[in-house]
A = this chain, B = another copy of it.
Amino acid sequence: MVVLDVMHDLPGYNTAEDIYDAARHANPDVDRSTVYRTLELLQSLNMVLALEREGDLRRFTLHVGHANHFHLLCIRCGRVMDADKEMLTSLQRDLMSHHDFQIDLGHLTINGLCRECADNTKDS
Protein backbone atom coordinates (compact mmCIF):
# COMPACT_ATOMS: atom_id res chain seq x y z
CA MET A 1 0.00 0.00 0.00
CA VAL A 2 1.19 3.41 -0.98
CA VAL A 3 0.13 4.95 2.31
CA LEU A 4 2.30 2.65 4.35
CA ASP A 5 5.26 3.29 2.08
CA VAL A 6 5.10 7.04 2.28
CA MET A 7 4.49 7.00 6.01
CA HIS A 8 7.62 5.01 6.40
CA ASP A 9 9.49 7.77 4.61
CA LEU A 10 7.86 10.69 6.35
CA PRO A 11 9.55 11.53 9.61
CA GLY A 12 7.54 12.14 12.74
CA TYR A 13 3.92 13.10 12.96
CA ASN A 14 2.14 14.21 9.84
CA THR A 15 -1.29 15.45 8.94
CA ALA A 16 -3.56 13.55 6.62
CA GLU A 17 -2.89 16.21 4.04
CA ASP A 18 0.87 15.71 4.29
CA ILE A 19 0.42 12.02 3.81
CA TYR A 20 -1.94 12.61 0.95
CA ASP A 21 0.58 14.87 -0.74
CA ALA A 22 3.37 12.37 -0.32
CA ALA A 23 1.18 9.54 -1.52
CA ARG A 24 0.10 11.51 -4.54
CA HIS A 25 3.72 12.13 -5.33
CA ALA A 26 4.27 8.40 -5.42
CA ASN A 27 1.04 7.70 -7.25
CA PRO A 28 -0.87 10.67 -8.64
CA ASP A 29 -4.12 8.74 -8.73
CA VAL A 30 -4.42 8.33 -4.99
CA ASP A 31 -7.39 10.09 -3.53
CA ARG A 32 -7.78 11.83 -0.22
CA SER A 33 -10.58 9.52 0.77
CA THR A 34 -8.34 6.53 0.24
CA VAL A 35 -5.76 8.06 2.50
CA TYR A 36 -8.33 8.67 5.21
CA ARG A 37 -9.80 5.23 4.86
CA THR A 38 -6.39 3.63 4.97
CA LEU A 39 -5.34 5.63 8.00
CA GLU A 40 -8.48 4.54 9.76
CA LEU A 41 -7.78 0.94 8.88
CA LEU A 42 -4.19 1.16 10.04
CA GLN A 43 -5.28 2.73 13.27
CA SER A 44 -7.66 -0.10 13.94
CA LEU A 45 -4.79 -2.48 13.30
CA ASN A 46 -2.66 -0.52 15.74
CA MET A 47 -0.07 0.14 13.08
CA VAL A 48 -0.71 3.84 13.05
CA LEU A 49 -1.11 6.19 15.93
CA ALA A 50 -3.11 9.39 15.84
CA LEU A 51 -2.19 12.38 17.91
CA GLU A 52 -4.49 15.27 18.53
CA ARG A 53 -3.23 18.54 19.85
CA GLU A 54 -5.39 21.47 20.77
CA GLY A 55 -5.39 24.01 18.00
CA ASP A 56 -3.64 21.67 15.61
CA LEU A 57 -4.70 19.09 13.12
CA ARG A 58 -4.79 15.41 13.75
CA ARG A 59 -1.41 13.91 13.07
CA PHE A 60 -0.50 10.36 12.28
CA THR A 61 2.61 8.32 12.74
CA LEU A 62 3.67 4.76 12.26
CA HIS A 63 3.39 2.87 15.48
CA VAL A 64 6.19 0.38 15.45
CA GLY A 65 8.68 -0.52 18.09
CA HIS A 66 7.16 2.07 20.36
CA ALA A 67 6.07 -0.59 22.76
CA ASN A 68 8.02 0.74 25.68
CA HIS A 69 7.64 4.41 25.04
CA PHE A 70 5.19 7.17 25.55
CA HIS A 71 5.23 10.53 23.89
CA LEU A 72 6.37 13.96 24.90
CA LEU A 73 4.86 16.64 22.71
CA CYS A 74 6.28 20.13 22.73
CA ILE A 75 3.38 22.53 22.68
CA ARG A 76 5.52 25.20 21.10
CA CYS A 77 7.45 23.59 18.27
CA GLY A 78 5.41 20.43 17.93
CA ARG A 79 8.38 18.15 18.32
CA VAL A 80 7.60 14.68 19.59
CA MET A 81 10.03 12.74 21.72
CA ASP A 82 9.82 9.28 23.17
CA ALA A 83 10.22 8.65 26.85
CA ASP A 84 10.59 5.42 28.67
CA LYS A 85 7.50 4.00 30.26
CA GLU A 86 9.42 3.01 33.33
CA MET A 87 9.22 6.62 34.38
CA LEU A 88 5.53 6.15 34.84
CA THR A 89 5.53 3.34 37.32
CA SER A 90 5.18 5.50 40.39
CA LEU A 91 2.51 7.69 38.83
CA GLN A 92 0.72 4.60 37.65
CA ARG A 93 0.73 3.15 41.12
CA ASP A 94 -0.49 6.40 42.70
CA LEU A 95 -3.31 6.90 40.23
CA MET A 96 -4.41 3.35 40.71
CA SER A 97 -4.41 3.48 44.47
CA HIS A 98 -5.90 6.95 44.84
CA HIS A 99 -8.35 7.03 41.95
CA ASP A 100 -8.70 3.47 40.72
CA PHE A 101 -7.53 4.86 37.45
CA GLN A 102 -5.62 2.82 34.95
CA ILE A 103 -3.46 4.78 32.55
CA ASP A 104 -3.91 4.03 28.87
CA LEU A 105 -0.25 3.32 28.25
CA GLY A 106 -0.77 2.72 24.58
CA HIS A 107 -1.74 6.28 23.83
CA LEU A 108 -0.15 8.39 26.49
CA THR A 109 1.10 11.76 25.41
CA ILE A 110 2.33 14.42 27.76
CA ASN A 111 2.43 18.01 26.59
CA GLY A 112 5.06 20.43 27.63
CA LEU A 113 8.13 22.29 26.51
CA CYS A 114 11.29 20.83 25.06
CA ARG A 115 14.57 22.30 26.17
CA GLU A 116 14.98 24.70 23.26
CA CYS A 117 11.48 26.07 23.58
CA ALA A 118 11.72 26.35 27.33
CA ASP A 119 14.89 28.39 26.87
CA ASN A 120 13.29 30.62 24.27
CA THR A 121 10.32 31.18 26.52
CA LYS A 122 12.58 32.36 29.29
CA ASP A 123 14.00 35.01 26.96
CA SER A 124 10.74 36.61 26.02
Main secondary structure of the interface of A (DSSP, over half): mixed
Interface residues on A, range: 20 to 34
- With A50-B54, A104-B113, A112-B104 in contact, is A87–B95 under 8 Å at CB? yes
Cβ-defined partner of A98 (8 Å) among B58, B74, B87, B91 = B87
Residues of B within 8 A of A102 (CB): 112-113, 118
- Would B81 and A87 count as touching, CB distance under 8 A? no
The verdict on A2 contacting chain B, using a C-beta distance below 8 Å, is no
Using a CB–CB cutoff of 8 Å, the interface residues on chain A facing chain B are: 50-54, 58, 72, 74-75, 81, 83-84, 87-88, 90-91, 94-95, 98-104, 107-108, 110-115, 118
